[in-house]
Every structure is written in structure tokens, then in C-alpha cells.
Amino acid sequence: MAAYTSTLSTPRRRPRAALRVAMLAPPWITVPPPGYGGIEAVVALLCDELVARGHEVTLFAAPGSHSAADVRAPLAGTHADQIGSSLYESDHVSTAFDAVEQAAVRGRPFDIVHDHSGFTAAAMAARLSVPVVHTLHAPFNDETRPFYARHGHKVRLVAISHSQLEQAPPGVQVADVVPNPIRVGDWPFCADKDDYLLWMGRMDPDKGAHRAIVAARSASARLVIAGPVQPGQEEYFRSEIEPHIDGRDVSYVGEVGGTRRKELFAHAKAFLMPIHWAEPFGMVMVEALACGTPVIAFPEGAASEIVLDGENGFHVADEQGMADAVGLLDTIDPLRCRKSVASRYDVALVAGAYETVYHKVINTNAGRTARSARHSPPSRHRGVLAGPRRPPRIQHAR
């Protein structure tokens, strides 16, 4: 398997001013993740790149995490089996906030807090003297829209796709669009593909593993399924997936990480993304493309932006369309797939975009006003910078 190093990413440069950044990861899984863990992988890449660019980064994450940043673990253990528990999330965030405030008392204040941890930090950001940038990893839906309508003004909101941005409720100002990063050179490039299709993700019905099975069978293609069965997903896996696993036409390899994960992406004939919900990003698609593997996707959520129809994969309407697209894979150049990722999502581009966000929050009148008016109600004006949906670009409000 030959490796290809992208030449399309921007060269690393010295930051305009070195910053002290407090990075908040979720408390559930280590950074980087041993297997499944999209947010943790994003945080790992961003921390390492910011440190390489000269910033002083402190990462608050689950115990056992490692990074080029200074790692601190607010909690004593990981809680992968209790994801979403308010007890552990609030404990994690509050302890990290205490450390941020203590740093200011000691005369070495942080310049910015960058939150990826969930909802607690956004809700409680008003207690901090340091501005908070909050990356929106969760979708806007009937549950989260009221939350951000009440608390979104306390932080600088950053969307990870234009699709997600468009779902923001009226009055909630999402200031920037910065996609999730990947270090393209870390992913092996393979032009000569094996004969299997790949589906990877959580065993959630919305993710569509059962639809991938239907599509693969219709295409008379072998399917490999990978991913964890998390608490609450056992019945779906038992009834919709397990009966089809025969080790020949449909194989299940469990949760995979490290080299094995990369090999699965690199050698797959195509990656299937049969989602039926507005997923904010979908890191698995970017990882597949980085390996030169085209993606066949339902154009839901950010899949419509990441997958460029006819260039690095195909948009299809249903399982039969997905099966039909398998017959067109020879028209997709694997190297073009990789370049489509390097030119939009390489970690150097994303870290540079976040530097811009940080400095805007710290230095502009808008940032200072936001910090001094934490308890003011949110504006009814949705101040976002409109932009083209295809291809997505890193954008900032002016």
C-alpha cells in the first residue's frame, strides 16, 4: 500500500501572536480515541497543530489522554458507557472552569477557552472571565434549538458545515463555519482497491447499516461493517444487522482503530453513507476520501458538501441508487478523492481558521462586547456570512 503525502495543505506558519488556549474535550473517551470517537480525533489533531504553530495549549480530557498539549484530567476515570450523563459532564466542565479561573488568579490567564465537550460549558460560560469558543458538534434539532436560543449568546458559536449552519434557529448567531480537520498525510493512499464495500459507524438506525446491507446485496457486492454497539443499540444490532452476518457476503469486524481502521478505508472499493438525518459533518467520509476511497452517500446534512457528485463519489436517493452507483466507481479517480479532502479539510487549514476565530473574539469590539454582555438576551438578528454550499469553505463573519 503506497502512501501519498498531500502537497495541497498550507505551510505551517508562525502565529500572529502566541495564545494560551484551554481546550475542553468530552469526558467520555480518551484523546485520541482508541477506536470510535470523532470529536476526540478532531480535538487531538487540533491540539497538536496549534502547539506546532507556537501556541500554549492545555487540554482538559478524559484520563489516559495524550497530546502535544499539556493534558489535565478533571475526572478520575473514563465513562464511555455513560455518554451524555449530566453528572459526569457537569463535573468535568466545572472542574476545568475552576482551573481556568485559578490560572488567572496565578497571573497566567488563558486567552481563550475552546469547548468541544457538549452543552454544559456553553450554558455556564457566563461564569468565566475568559471568552469561550463553542464548536457545534451536535445537530440543531427540536431538543437543541431551544437550548441555543437561551444560551448561544454566551459563547462564540462555530458550525462545522454549511448544512448545520442552515439549521440554526432564528436569533441564534453562528459566527463562523470551520470544518473538522484531518491530517491527510497520516492516511494511506491506495489506488488498487479490493472487492468489498465498507460501512463504519455507530449502530444507530439513523446511520443506516441496515440500508448498506440492502444496497450491497442489490449490487452483488461484499460488505464489511465496522463500529461499536453502544448502550441502547443492542436491539437494533440484534434484529437488523446480526441476522445478515455470514462472514462471506456480510462481515462484521467490530470496533476498529489504528492501522486496521486505516487499512479498511484504504482498500475498500467504496464507502457507503446511507444516512437519513442531517448529520453535521461525518468524519468517516473524510477519512475514506483521504485514502482515495470514493463515497456513495444519501445527500443528507454535510454529506451533500463533503461528497462532490461525480468527482469524489456519488449522491444517490435510495438503496437501489447506491447499488447502481457501485457500477460507476471506475469513473472516479482515487487521487482526486484524496485531493478533494486535502484542499478543504487539512488540519493546517483548519487550525489557521481557528486562529482567526480566536483573535477575532479576543481583539475585536464584537468580542469585547460579547464578553461584557454575557447575561444580555440574544439578538434576533442572525448575523452569519452566507456562502456557497458546494464546495464548503471555511468562513467567518465580518
If one counts the domains in the chain, the total is 2
Does 144 lie in the same domain as 70? yes
Preceding peptide of 299 cis, ω within 30°: no
Average pLDDT over the chain reads: 88
Answer whether residue 388 shows pLDDT above 60: no
Question: SS3 sequence, 148-195?
Answer: HHHHHHHCEEEECCHHHHHCCCCCCCEEEECCCCECHHHCCCCCCCCC
Does some domain include residue 398? no
C-alpha cell read off for 321: 441508487
Answer whether residue 396 shows pLDDT above 50: yes
Does some domain include residue 12? no
C-beta separation of 59 from 71 below 8 A: yes
Does some domain include residue 395? no
- Say what the pLDDT of residue 16 is: 63
Answer whether residue 15 shows pLDDT above 80: no
Does 321 lie in the same domain as 266? yes
- Say what the pLDDT of residue 253 is: 97
Answer whether residue 9 shows pLDDT above 70: no
Does 325 lie in the same domain as 198? yes
Q: Tens of pLDDT along 93-131? A: 999 999 999 999 999 999 999 999 999 999 999 999 999
Of 387 and 348, more confident: 348
Answer whether residue 144 shows pLDDT above 60: yes
Does 338 lie in the same domain as 192? yes
Three-class SS of residue 321? helix
C-beta separation of 5 from 41 below 8 A: no
pTM of the model: 0.84
Does 364 lie in the same domain as 291? no
Q: Tens of pLDDT along 252-287? A: 999 998 899 999 999 999 999 999 989 999 999 999
Does 223 lie in the same domain as 166? no
Backbone phi, then psi, for 295, in 5-degree steps?
A: -120, 130
Backbone phi, then psi, for 72, in 5-degree steps?
A: -130, 140
User: For 63, what's the count of Cα atoms within 13 Å in the CB-facing half-sphere?
Assistant: 7
Q: Tens of pLDDT along 303-359? A: 999 999 999 999 999 999 999 999 999 999 999 999 999 999 999 999 999 999 999
Does some domain include residue 293? yes
Does some domain include residue 145? yes
Does 277 lie in the same domain as 176? no
Q: Tens of pLDDT along 204-259? A: 999 999 999 999 999 999 999 999 998 899 999 999 999 999 999 999 999 998 89
Average pLDDT score over residue span 40-48: 96
- Say what the pLDDT of residue 257 is: 87
Query: Domain holding 377: CATH number?
Result: 3.40.50.2000
Does some domain include residue 61? yes
Answer whether residue 190 shows pLDDT above 80: yes
Answer whether residue 390 shows pLDDT above 50: no
The parent domain of residue 364 ranges over 20-181+347-383
Does some domain include residue 368? yes
Q: Tens of pLDDT along 45-96? A: 999 999 999 999 999 999 999 999 999 999 988 887 787 788 989 999 999 9
Helix, strand, coil percentages in the chain from 3-state DSSP, rounded to 5: 40, 15, 45
